[in-house]
Chains A and B, each alone.
Chain A
Amino acid sequence: MTDPKYFTTNKKREIFELKAELNNEKKEKRKEAGKKVIAAMTVGKDVSSLFPDVVNCMQTDNLELKKLVYHYLMNYDCEDPDPLIRALTVRTMGCIRVDKITEYLCEPLCKCLKDEDPYVWKTAAVCVAKLHDINAQMVEDQGFLDSLRDFIADSNPMVVANAIVALSEISESHQNSNLLDLNSQNINKLLTALNECTEWGQIFILDYDREAQSICEQVTPRLSHANSEVVLSFLELLPKDSDYYNMLLKKLAPPLVTLLSGEPEVQYITLRNINLIVQIRPETLKQEIKAFFVKCNDPIYVKLEKLDIMIRLASQVLAELKEYATEGDVDFVCKAVRAIGQCAIKVEQSAECCTKVNYVVQEAIVVIRDIFRKYPNKYESIIATLCGNLDSLDEPDARAATIWIVGECAERIDNADELLESFLEGFHDESTQVQLTLLTAIVKLFLKKPSETQELVPLTTRYSDNSDLRDRSYIYRCLLSTDPVTAKEIVLSEKPLISEETDLIEPTLLDELICHIGSLASVYHKPPNAFVEGSHGIHRKHLPIHHGSTDAGDSPVGTTTAMNLEQPQVKPSQGDLLGDLLNLDLSSPVNAPQVSSMQMGAVDLQGGGLESLLGSDLGGGIGGSPAVGQSFIPSSVPATFAPSPGPAVVSSGPNDLFEFSTGIGMAPGGYVAPKAVWLPAVKAKGLEISGTFTHLQALQHMTDFAIQFNKNSFGVIPSTPLAIHTPLMPNQSIDVSLPLNTVGPVMKMEPLNNLQGAVKNNLDVFYFSWLIPLNVLFVEDGKMEHQVFLATSKDIPNENELQFQVKECHFNADTVSSKFQNNNVYTIAKRNVEGQDMLYQSLKLTNGIWILAELRIQPGNPNYTLESFPHCVFVKFVKDQMVVDVWLSF
């Protein structure tokens, strides 16, 4: 192109010749012509008459010619007298996202940034952001950022707004996130523009300013703006705690409410945001509750959202809710009645009113059960009415609730035995939930009125195929036959209170969401990084999952060599984990029945089922699991369970037990040989680790014990100090329980489930580390929605998958699934492909990480060899949406 020969053509004929050449059939000729045209253009000749011919050449696969054409176009269009065309050129060129073209974009962009027309400026400003997206370095080199900064001072508000939005877009991917110094001078400029620009411009500026809270006062008039977004953007600006804020809140309520008269979609967004605001400051909208009353032509999603907010604002809405119970939409009515129940729990005086609701009896009964739970012995008068309705109930939920009430209030119902007997007739046709509840109710009845119930108790549950049911009835039978007094204590124990607030958002998340008012995050009620890759802004701490290298040898101190040897190198901990879960038979009674889990939990921990775990089940074992499963059992497990008081464990919260027994033992070795073995106890909610702590030389007594954990991946910390009050004498051992919770500081560990800690006493500090079995960290709400599961699993790249097989596993799909569920691994879907059962599972860890798994079971193929895959487990590990998957086999 810079070849001098192109610059030496005759004047008159050249246009004509170029025209002919541009239309030449040969590619080479056309390219040559193109070069000549550009050359002519560069020296300032007018070749604009060639426009149609040049454009014709665009249809080529020759990159060089294409570039020439683009260059021509940009050059001519950028000099067009019409600013619309000049702007169109930069806009369109910015959209051609080909790296090689960008160099041609530079020059015209430079021109446009110095154009005389503000319309071109505002387009050019956005184009800088586009260019930055393709080639950030070029933007830096050309000093386009400075041009944008200069635009801030422009008199045209639209230019300012676009410059601001371009800067904020660039700053998202720029190493220096503060591209514009928000000094008072700049702020003043922005404020001037703010008063004059379009609603969108106002949003851009307000969004950019979100840290400059000082300007709040000056932008209050924005609340008078018609566009909802402007209002929400303003909200974002508000300082989070100050007197001024409170004053502003008063001004804020009416605009928010006014937004609710907009389009349903806008209403929805507003409601989702209000939902957040009322959780922090319910007083803001307390006066406005009427605005949330449901209109019959609201779309369902608006109705549900309004309902949710009203539950939060509660108290005066009860009457309103009653009216919804007459609505036509069944789902909505059910939710409305549930809402009444939730209100009753929240506001004591409204409870009486609630118990009179008889619109939707079935749902109401479920609600009444909750009311009984909350206010026992208060509203027994309703029982008579209830008993009258027994026959009409067909929903399992409602039946179970009724049975629970009958069992609970057995001493006040004269014909309780008859009522329960009537349910017994169709016992085998009932759902599991009803069967379990019925079983418990009968036991309660027996304990309360032994004389009347004798004939009911020898219930034939042994023919049931449901193992939960069999186990539970077995436990009851053992309990009742050995020690009725203890049985009474357990079954009729105090029930923990049910919580008042429903599905509140966790405070840290709430704080974060409040910072994202108006954005998608505030609509999803999820932190941005849960659905956006590499999102910016305020990050929640999160941990990448690491798998594979969970070799116990990694842990610095403490774990014994014996342990290392026992664990084959190829067998990472996840395999063990799944193996464990398949083995964990005993815990099934704990959390299977929702209704009566309170009594059951108590029973369970008495260890009825424990022996069965330790005995037979593990014997056959799963090939992969002995390291964690078997090796620790003999010494520590029985001790672990003996002192645990039942109900305390079952009560809410991560009330975890940390079992710590100290003894003088066998291990030879150095000064401190903490032979720590830490065993996963099988509990839905908690973490139960048991350890043996060996000490050789200490011949004097030990006192002043204390324990501390390092920061770890899951924020596990002791929730109470280590309580060893008496001095520990030589040859003596003490069993101590240490409750743990997961609210501590978080730091990623290697391996992930590594937990380091120290025990201090009057002699020294002993350090050790162990691996937390992951399964204790599975939380109850680990059930992913079907849709989400599908969507997420499709998006996991193949290389992130992990696969391994579990051998010698003699369970069918249903058993496996229920075993998993008892350990908070939930089956999302099940299907049968070519004779194999496929189970799709999800689980969630305490820190919010999701793990998805696919389990393939070939029934009737108890294969012991490694070559075939009798029971294959594919596990996909998903961390939010970023996925770390590992492929394992053993």
Chain B
Amino acid sequence: MSASAFFILDVKGKHLISHNYKDNVLLSKMAYFMPLLVQQEEEGALTPLLSYGEVNFLWIKHSNLYLVATTLKNANASLVYSFLCKTIEVFCQYFKELEEESIWDNFVIIYELLDELMDFGFPQSTNSKLLQEYIIQQRNKPETGKSRVPPTSIYPVSWPSEVIKYKKNEVFINVIESVNLLVNASGSVLLSEIVGIIKLKVFLSEMPELWLGLNDFMIFELIGLSGSKNKSVELEDVKFHQCVQLSCFDNDHTIFISPDGDFELMSYPLSTQVKPRIWIESLIEKFSQSHVGIMVKAKGQFRKQSVANGVEISGPVPSDADTPRFNMNVGSVKYVPEKNIMIWNIKSFLGAHFGLLSMEKEDVEGWPPIWIPYFTVSGIQQALSWVCYITQSGDYQLRTS
């Protein structure tokens, strides 16, 4: 029902890692993968799922690597893709970055990890924190007689193996909300949603049971506080960390025994309309057949006291643009010809607005939208001394006309 082999290939299709979980996909079949991928790409019909004969290739590209799982059966596709994503996550936690070089440097441990991550094609433990307890890069010689398997290794959550005591019991809560925004050319908001994450950093002795109180509408109803007085939020699709007892959530407060250290407690999407924190307007002018000017105006729509850090505005530039010239009154602009974009960096962004313009080029076709991949609105609000609220941009796109 799942993958029968796992491969890591470099950009040219050379095998870096191959691990056969079941004997039924011949390694020779992998030779077809790369040509197939190239061909599909040329035809513009590339999908993350390729098939050659009876072999199905499920692949993900990560930096300069292809991670490929193969199967002969009607496997559970979403399981395999989630597994591939999770594998990348684990590798990244082990080697900081997952790329060709780190594979070369660590291939022994990668094989070891692959052994633990999956057995006979079935994903096993993919919790990197837990894996790190017994798969370590420089392993000490084990003391004989004492098990190296942490007693909890087969549990989904890595609770500390021994009882920990802290002098000072502390919990840090980070509430990080990313804003996904899609605005069309005429300036009306098509899509606006918030994806929030609550991150905990826990230093508590003896693993106490914790309760989480949310100003969720539903919970207020339950405990008899109606939403009129308190600001309540309707949470639709909350996802919790595995340590949370899901069965309790629907009718109770949220109870959990927290693992030690950093972890992401919950995530929640909110489809509330928010005012876009940064507004972009663009104006495209044709001066002559081969000369086009673009004027971009960015406007901060948040309180004066707050500052947005590391604002990055990416705008599309036609692929045949030639020596674009930039003019701006704040920040710096970089032209990235390989991606056909220009990136406007503003380290700290206040409430004012800015313009930048002018590049020369030959031909104008359609103008794809402008998007802002990363920026942080550091509207930090210290409601309680140990809670920190951060707003981030998620998928933030404003289309140009």
Contact = CB atoms under 8 A, between A and B. Distances in A.
Is the pairing of A and B real? yes
Interface of A: 81-84, 88, 91, 94, 97, 117-119, 122-123, 126-127, 129-130, 133, 156-159, 162, 165, 168-169, 172, 195-201, 203-204, 207, 221-229, 232-233, 254-255, 257-258, 261-266, 268-270, 273, 290-291, 293, 295-297, 299-301, 320, 323, 326-328, 331, 333, 516, 518-524, 528, 531-533, 535, 537, 787, 791-792, 794-795, 881
Contacts of B73: 520, 532, 535
A532 B147 contact: no
Given A195-B246, A328-B367, A165 B191 contact: no
Contacts of B182: 290, 293, 295
B148 A82 contact: yes
B28 to A, nearest CB: 13
Nearest to A158: B154
Interface string B40-51: 100110111101
B156 A196 contact: yes
Nearest to B314: A297
B185 interface: yes
Q: Looking at A118, A232, A519, A792, which has the most chain B CB atoms within 10 Å of its CB?
A: A519
A232 B77 CA distance: 10
Interface string B10-48: 000000000000110000000000001001100110111
A156 B146 CA distance: 21
B81 A263 contact: yes
B79 A203 contact: yes
Contacts of A301: 46-48
A126 B119 contact: yes
6 contacts: A82-B148, A119-B149, A204-B122, A261-B395, A524-B49, A794-B53
Contact of B249 (A224, A320, A333, A516): A224
**7 tightest A-B CB contacts, nearest first:** A254-B237, A528-B74, A221-B246, A200-B123, A198-B156, A158-B154, A265-B48
In this complex, the interface size class of chain B, counting residues with CB under 8 Å from chain A, is 35 or more
A133 B249 contact: no
Contact of B180 (A126, A261, A269, A296): A261
B250 interface: yes
Contacts of B75: 519-520
Contacts of A157: 155-156
A265 B85 contact: yes
Nearest to B367: A326
B53 A795 contact: yes
Nearest to A122: B154
Contacts of B238: 224
Q: Looking at B124, B195, B236, which has the most chain A CB atoms within 10 Å of its CB?
A: B124
Given A118-B154, A130-B120, A328 B246 contact: no
Interface in B134-150: 134, 142, 144-149
Nearest to B123: A200
A290 B181 CA distance: 11
B235 to A, nearest CB: 10
Contact of A129 (B120, B368, B395): B120
B78 A232 contact: yes
A331 B44 CA distance: 9
Contact of A117 (B78, B146, B147, B185): B147
Contact of A197 (B146, B156, B250, B399): B156
B9 to A, nearest CB: 16
- Dominant SS at the A interface? helix
B102 interface: no
Contact of A195 (B36, B247, B267): B247
A874 B195 CA distance: 60
B369 A290 contact: no
Contact of A532 (B74, B191, B367): B74
B77 A519 contact: yes
Given A295-B397, A523-B49, A787-B39, A881 B250 contact: no
Contact of B366 (A222, A269, A328): A328
Interface of B: 1, 22-23, 36, 39-40, 43-44, 46-49, 51-54, 56, 60, 71-79, 81-85, 115, 119-120, 122-127, 134, 142, 144-149, 153-156, 180, 182, 184-185, 190-191, 195, 236-242, 245-247, 249-250, 267, 269, 316, 365-369, 371, 394-395, 397, 399, 401
Contacts of B190: 290, 293, 320
Contacts of B125: 158, 198
A177 to B, nearest CB: 14
Given A229-B79, A518-B77, A207 B367 contact: no
Contacts of A207: 1, 76
Nearest to B122: A165
A524 B147 CA distance: 46
Contact of B155 (A97, A196, A225, A270): A196
A158 to B, nearest CB: 4
Contacts of B395: 261, 295
A273 B77 CA distance: 11
A273 B49 CA distance: 14
Nearest to B130: A198
Given A81-B145, A81-B147, A520-B74, A532 B154 contact: no
Given A123-B119, A127-B120, A199-B242, 8 more contacts: A82-B147, A88-B115, A197-B156, A199-B82, A229-B79, A263-B85, A264-B48, A295-B371
A327 B368 contact: yes
B237 A255 contact: yes
A296 B369 contact: yes
A600 B393 CA distance: 58
Nearest to A204: B122
A881 B51 CA distance: 12
B53 A791 contact: yes
A265 B185 contact: no
A69 B52 CA distance: 40
A223 B236 CA distance: 11
A263 B73 CA distance: 24
Q: Looking at A123, A293, A295, A881, which has the most chain B CB atoms within 10 Å of its CB?
A: A295
Contacts of A195: 245-247
B182 to A, nearest CB: 6
Contacts of B39: 787
B20 to A, nearest CB: 8
B123 A94 contact: no
Contacts of A881: 53-54
Given A84-B134, A518-B79, A535 B246 contact: no
Contact of B368 (A258, A296, A532): A296
A516 B73 CA distance: 12
A105 B395 CA distance: 53
A119 B148 CA distance: 11
Contacts of A792: 53
B126 A198 contact: yes
Nearest to B180: A261
A268 B47 contact: yes
